Amino acid sequence: MGLEGMSCTQLLPREDWLVLIPQAHVGYITWEEYEDNQRRLHASAQAQGAERRKSPPREGPALLQGLVICGVCGRRMTVRYHERHGQLYPEYICQDEKVHQVGPLCQCLPGQTIDAAVTQLLLETMTPVSLEGALAVQQEIDARQVEADALRAKQVARAQYEADLAGQRYRRVDPNNRLVADALEAEWNTALRGLQETQREYERLRQQESRRIDEHMRAQVLALSTDFPRVWHDPQATDHDRKRLIRLLLEDVTLIKTPGISVRVRFRGGATRTLTLPPVCRVWQTWETPPEVLQTIDTLLNEHTDQQIAALLNERGLHPGKGGTFTGNIVTKVRRAYGLKSRYERLREAGKLTDAEMAQTLAIHVHTVKKWHQAGLLRGYAYNDKNSCLYDPPGPDAPVKGQGRKLSRRRQLIESQIVSKETKEVQCEA
């Protein structure tokens, strides 16, 4: 009864029930089906709430979906898919902090590589040799459990003997001697409580022990070495079916991104295996550019910008590692990925000057440098596709400010001076 005479109901977990009588009434389903449904509901419920340790298998290709734990923060990792060439590629990400606190991603790892490594581990584990070893270990455990059970049975027998002996002493005492009788009765009650606790602990430990493996079970386990690979590679098996198979064997998988990838696999029986995968490479890093194309790009950088090089490579029928045609952006990525010097660096090594350096040398403004270059008074070399230039150092015939003269007229004068100078040099040589 609750407050003010009102009744209330409180749901207790099954382990706190006083009485449980299975199949006391005829049900719509069997007790075994009910228990199986409860297990599935419990597994599905683990996908909700604060813990979110597991989730039921879905239809996506990520084989470890719902089993992956972040090795950095300990939270459950989720799955994100990317589509490339019509195929889905999974990624395992830890984004709890990003979702709830707008923080950075904790980890993001490529799922295809990890799935392949765990699959190979399972196929190697389900072999006759490994299963024979597991059965031998289990038989040794069974033998140790039999010895422990015998020792616990002796403890129960000892407690029973002490309780019987205390009861005999109590029954033989003179009833008129109340002090002795009370003391013997207290000893008998203590012995009975010790016997009850010993029996309860004995039954509890017996229930926790694993089932003994008989010859029939041994044959079934060894059959897995051939059945599991056959079912796994069955063309009719879906990703959902493979996920269910994995859940029968694995408890969880912990991932840590180091210079490589550390994969810690925990099996259902408690055994663990740690795999170390190579460092994660981005997709574009797997597209290797042919050596002859790299040599051509390195040569063309002496005279051309990235966009110009892309046009020349396409004219020559050359292709990047990914295939297709070159663009200026692709040439830039290839140049940076393979450590080729840019055109700017090459021109600087050749002694070319920037706008600011040229303006300081000629005592003019930067905008005047650009105007003189456009008018042909200065010789510039474009180092990018925005027509940004570096310039030859000014010689003895460098242009100077000329008030009242147009740039076109000054260009004609400079060209005539150059021609007359070359003519005099030729005459001198003659």
Listed by start position, the domains of the chain span 286-340, 356-425
Q: Shortest CA distance to 90 belongs to which of 71, 67, 64? A: 64
Q: Which pLDDT value is given to residue 1?
A: 47
The string of DSSP letters for 360-428 reads: HHHT--HHHHHHHHHHTSS-EEE-STT--EEEPPP-TT-----TT--HHHHHHHHHHHHHHHHHHHHHH
pLDDT tens digits for 348-360? 999 999 989 988 8
Q: Which pLDDT value is given to residue 32?
A: 87
Q: Which pLDDT value is given to residue 409?
A: 55
Say if residue 307's pLDDT is above 90. Answer: yes
pLDDT tens digits for 1-24? 445 667 888 888 887 888 888 888
Say if residue 304's pLDDT is above 80. Answer: yes
pLDDT tens digits for 166-186? 888 888 888 888 888 888 888
Question: If you average pLDDT over every residue of the chain, what do you get?
Answer: 80
pLDDT tens digits for 248-299? 788 889 999 888 899 999 987 778 889 998 877 666 566 778 889 999 999 9
Q: How far apart are CA 326 and CA 284, in angstroms?
A: 14
Residue type at 40 in one-letter notation: R
Q: What are phi and psi of 83, to 5 degrees?
A: -105, 125
Q: Which pLDDT value is given to residue 220?
A: 57
Q: The pTM is what?
A: 0.47
